[in-house]
């Protein structure tokens, strides 16, 4: 077995070759070669516990008008699911947005926001939309 940045011959996980690429630090592909022993090595990637967005019972919703781009929610979010969009706010300010694929709905962002720009809304309100 080797870590290779060249074209892999065979992925450790069939159908999961995109896995290594989604890792910010390790672009290498784990390659299993004939005669290799099998080592259960993990690769850093989002979603080690699946799409944790499904854990949410409340969804944080950002009001871009109110957001002052202070980054506090970004600093404290335990799951790194706040993405700051630079200069994307209505007043040209940086603005917070949320990765709903993985956001677990803890509500920390809403509680640390100094201007109450994040509201926690029951997921049931979104069922008909999705």
Partner 1 sequence: MAFNIKALPKKNYIMPGNAACPGCPENIGLKFVSMALGEKATLVVPAGCTSVIQGLWPRQGTSMPVLNIVFAAAASAASGLSRALRIRGKDDIVVVWAGDGGTADIGLQALSGAAERGEDFIYICVDNEAYMNTGIQRSSLTPHGAWTTTTHRGNPGRKKPLPQIVAAHRVPYVATASIGYPWDFISKLKKAASIKGFKYIHLHAPCPVGWRFDPGLTVKIAQLAVETGAWILYEHENGKLKLNPPSNKLVDPSKRKPLEEYIKLQGRFRHLTDRDLEELKKEIEENWREITAILRAQGDL
**Site residues for ligand SF4 per CB under 6 A:** 60, 62, 67-73, 77, 79, 81-82, 96, 98, 103-109, 113, 115, 117-118
Work out whether 16 is an interface residue with partner 1 (CB under 8 A): yes
Helix (H, G, I), strand (E, B) or coil at 51: coil
Identify which of residues 28 and 119 has a Cβ nearer to ligand SF4 in the complex: 119
Give the list of residues 6+ apart from residue 9 with CB closer than 8 angstroms, or none: 31, 33
User: What tokens appear for 32 in the block?
Assistant: 């299993």
Residue 101 binds what, of ligand SF4, partner 1, none (CB under 5 to 8 Å, by partner type)?
A: partner 1
Work out whether 51 is an interface residue with partner 1 (CB under 8 A): yes
d(CA 58, CA 74): 18
Identify which of residues 114 and 128 has a Cβ nearer to partner 1 in the complex: 114
> Contact at 8 Å (CB) between 36 and 14?
no
| Interacting residues toward partner 1 by CB under 8 A | 12-13, 16, 19, 23-26, 40-53, 55, 70-72, 74-76, 78-81, 99, 101-108, 110-112, 120
């Amino acid at each position: 077995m080797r870590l290779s940045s060249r074209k892999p011959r065979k992925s450790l996980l069939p159908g999961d070759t995109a896995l290594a690429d989604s890792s910010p630090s390790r672009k290498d592909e784990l390659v299993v070669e004939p005669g290799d022993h099998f080592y259960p090595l993990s690769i850093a990637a989002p979603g080690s516990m699946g799409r944790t967005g499904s854990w949410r019972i409340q969804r944080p919703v950002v009001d871009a008008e109110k957001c002052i781009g202070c980054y506090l929610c970004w600093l404290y979010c335990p799951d790194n699911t706040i993405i700051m969009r630079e200069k994307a706010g209505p007043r040209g300010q940086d603005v917070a947005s949320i990765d709903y694929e993985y956001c677990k709905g803890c509500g920390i962002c809403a509680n640390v926001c100094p201007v109450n720009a994040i509201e926690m809304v029951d997921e049931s309100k979104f069922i008909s939309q999705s």
